[in-house]
Amino acid sequence: MTSDLAAARARAFEIIKKKSFVRGEITLASGAKSDHYFNMKPTMLDPEGAKALSELILDRLKDVEVDYIGGLEMGAVPLIGPLALVSGLQGRPIPGFFVRKAVKGHGTRQRIEGVSDLSGKRVVVVEDVTTTGGSAMSAIEALREVGAEISLVISILDRQSGATELYRDATIPFASLFTSAEFLKEASSS
């Protein structure tokens, strides 16, 4: 990792710790209870956070064949635009898309927005926080229905609660920038 990327990772960690990591009992999207929570929206919507996360994700994609990058609403949406922008600035433009949780009842009635045809295209699915992997699998199913090939699922943060095993069993490559253990370790040593 270059010194610029190491600095981006350290800065992203600090922004997540300050803006997105919360202690206290919470019910997760999976239905499980937890004593900590990660709400990545404040980090993804922070200019410095969006830039650092985009640089880190795009670095992870340097050896991945990818035509488009996107993910399930709402978790991936705040980062899709910055990823597309930074990829273009880096000379490797990767257009974005997002997958609706349900088909909208008006307009074009599309479940996948931002691109008209993903058939045969290699896509990377971005997720803000991964717990069991079920949310991203919903997006993957919709993408496969239109003929997309899944190159990778990448999460900002893996809660280490089954997603790695889910993707391994489904033979889908998975990576994360951070793990919950990194933040819990930091919190316990403070």
What tokens does 8 get? 């981006």
- Please indicate if the annotation marks 130 as binding a ligand: yes
Helices (runs of H) and strands (runs of E) counted in the chain: 7, 8
| Pairwise CA distance, residues 177 & 6, whole Å | 12
Residue 55 Cα to chain centre, angstroms: 13
- Please indicate if the annotation marks 171 as binding a ligand: no
Query: What angle, rounded to 10 degrees, do the helices at 77-89 and 47-60 form?
Result: 70
- Residue 103 banded pLDDT, cuts 50, 70, 90: confident
- Please indicate if the annotation marks 100 as binding a ligand: yes
- How much is the pLDDT for 186? 73
- Residue 34 banded pLDDT, cuts 50, 70, 90: confident
pTM, whole model, 2 decimals? 0.91
Query: What does the pLDDT look like over 146-178, one tens digit per residue?
Result: 999 999 999 999 998 889 999 999 999 999 999
- Please indicate if the annotation marks 164 as binding a ligand: no
- Please indicate if the annotation marks 159 as binding a ligand: yes
- Please indicate if the annotation marks 86 as binding a ligand: no
Statement: residue 39 has pLDDT above 70:
yes
- Please indicate if the annotation marks 25 as binding a ligand: no
- Please indicate if the annotation marks 131 as binding a ligand: yes
Domains and CATH numbers, the chain: 3-189 (3.40.50.2020)
- Please indicate if the annotation marks 115 as binding a ligand: no
